Amino acid sequence: MSSRRDFLGTAWAAAGVAAAAAGTAVLGRALSGSPEPERGVRLPAELLARAEKEGGLVHEGLHVRGPAASPVVLDLTCTHLRCRVAPVEGGGFSCPCHASRYDAEGRVTAGPASRPLARPRLSPDGAGFVARLS
C-alpha cells in the first residue's frame, strides 16, 4: 500500500512532466520563425507632404520622412524582440523594452538589438506609395 507521501510525489512528478511538455510546445511555436503575413500601408501624397514639412512623422507603425517624391520609411519594430520603438529628441529611436537605440537612419547604436530597423519596400500608388512590410 502506498503512503500519502508516495502519492503526492508521483502527482508532483506527473504535473512537472506535463508543464515541461506544454512549455516546450509553446516555446517551439514561438521560436519557429514562422513569417508574419505581408501587409501594405498606404502613404498618400498628403501624408508624404506633411512628413516632409514636419521633418518626419509616425504613421501606422512606420516613421516617414524626406522628400514626398522619394520618402525614407522605417519600420518602428525593434529587431531584438519586436517591441515598438519611438522617436527620441534630437533624432534616432529608442526601444522601451530593452533599451536598444537606433540612429536616424535606423542603424543600431546600442544593443541588445544587432540588426538595423527594416526599410519597407515602396511601390508607387497614384501620387503616393504603398509600404510593403513582411
Judgement on whether residues 44 and 17 belong to the same structural domain of the protein: no
Judgement on whether residues 68 and 122 belong to the same structural domain of the protein: yes
- The residue among 112 and 26 whose pLDDT is bigger is 112
What is the rounded average pLDDT of the residues 23-29?
64
Q: Looking at the 3D structure of the chain, how many domains does it have?
A: 2
Judgement on whether residues 60 and 122 belong to the same structural domain of the protein: yes
Judgement on whether residues 63 and 107 belong to the same structural domain of the protein: yes
**pLDDT > 90? residue 11:** no
Tell me the CATH number at 105: 2.102.10.10
Locate 80 and state its grid cell: 531584438
Strand partners of residue 94: 86, 101
Which structural domain, as residue segments, surrounds residue 116? 39-133
Distance CA 91, CA 34 (A): 33
Judgement on whether residues 104 and 55 belong to the same structural domain of the protein: yes
Judgement on whether residues 21 and 69 belong to the same structural domain of the protein: no
Judgement on whether residues 82 and 124 belong to the same structural domain of the protein: yes
Judgement on whether residues 5 and 62 belong to the same structural domain of the protein: no
Could you tell me the pTM of the whole model? Answer: 0.70
What is the rounded average pLDDT of the residues 56-60?
92
Judgement on whether residues 72 and 52 belong to the same structural domain of the protein: yes
Q: How far is CA 53 from CA 33, 47, 49, 97, in A?
A: 39, 10, 6, 31
Judged by average pLDDT, the poorest of 9-13, 96-100, 109-113 is: 9-13
Q: How far is CA 130 from CA 35, 79, 85, 120, in A?
A: 20, 22, 21, 9
Judgement on whether residues 25 and 82 belong to the same structural domain of the protein: no
Judgement on whether residues 19 and 44 belong to the same structural domain of the protein: no
Judgement on whether residues 22 and 75 belong to the same structural domain of the protein: no
**pLDDT > 90? residue 51:** yes
Q: What is the pLDDT of residues 82-93, one digit of tens each?
A: 899 999 988 899
